[in-house]
Amino acid sequence: MDKIYRARPTSRLKIRSFANQIRKIVGLEKSTDFPILAVFEFLSAQGIFTFEILPKEDMENKCGETFPEERHILIREDIYEEAYKEIPFARTTLAHELYHLFFHGGEAISLCRTDSEIKARRAYEDPEWQANCFAGELLVPKDLVVGMSVEEVMKNCNVSVTMAKTQLEHYSRG
């Protein structure tokens, strides 16, 4: 069985505000097409983390893996190549791993050990939910996609149909 983790609880609103801060820090709060690969490489060049590109056979079914304590990220070779080609799934993977790096160090994360602990875990305590939520909020900024269709969001933000739909659904609820 895979390890089941529980992270410090957070909300979509908090994650949205963090994503907006990042967009502001890099001066891209008005840009719909977030250059996640350039930002990823920039942050690493600043010494914030190190990363390694590993061949497919070393990563198996994992697209990326983050070790927050070591401030180290592994990205599967084909995913990294796809990020250069601006493929939405690869872009999402980089954003996803960055969230784990920023938020899942130290005591923010613990392992669920028993069935009851696993059952008691809420979605917002799931580190994978949090990282996916962050990727959506970073790549599809709420303020900039008001009134856009799913197709327009896909095109302007360069994200998958699933991500465009999910974000628009959340934003329509306020």
Binding site for Zn ion (CB under 5 A): 128, 131
- Closest approach, Cβ 56 to Zn ion, in A, equals 18
* Cβ nearer to Zn ion, comparing 87 with 150: 87
Nearest residue (CB) to Zn ion, 32 versus 66: 66
Nearer to Zn ion, 61 or 172 (CB): 61
The rounded distance, in Å, linking the Cα atoms of 165 and 1 is 31
| Least distance from Zn ion to the Cβ atom of residue 50, Å | 18
Backbone angles phi, psi at 20, to 5 degrees: -65, -40
CB of 90 or CB of 168, closer to Zn ion: 90
Give min distance, CB of 46 to Zn ion, in A.
Answer: 23
Phi-psi map region of 114: left, alpha, beta (phi>0 left; psi -120 to 50 alpha) = beta
First-to-last CA distance in the chain? Answer: 38
Query: Of 131 and 163, which has the nearer Cβ to Zn ion?
Result: 131
How many angstroms separate the CA atoms of 174 and 168, rounded? Answer: 10
CB of 63 to Zn ion, least distance (A): 9
The C-alpha atoms of residue 64 and residue 141 are separated, in whole angstroms, by 23
| Closest listed residue to residue 120, CA positions, set 22, 21, 4, 26 | 4
Name the minimum Å distance from CB 125 to Zn ion. Answer: 14
Residue nearest to Zn ion (CB): 131
Interatomic CA distance for residues 126 and 130, integer angstroms: 6
Amino acid found at 71: R
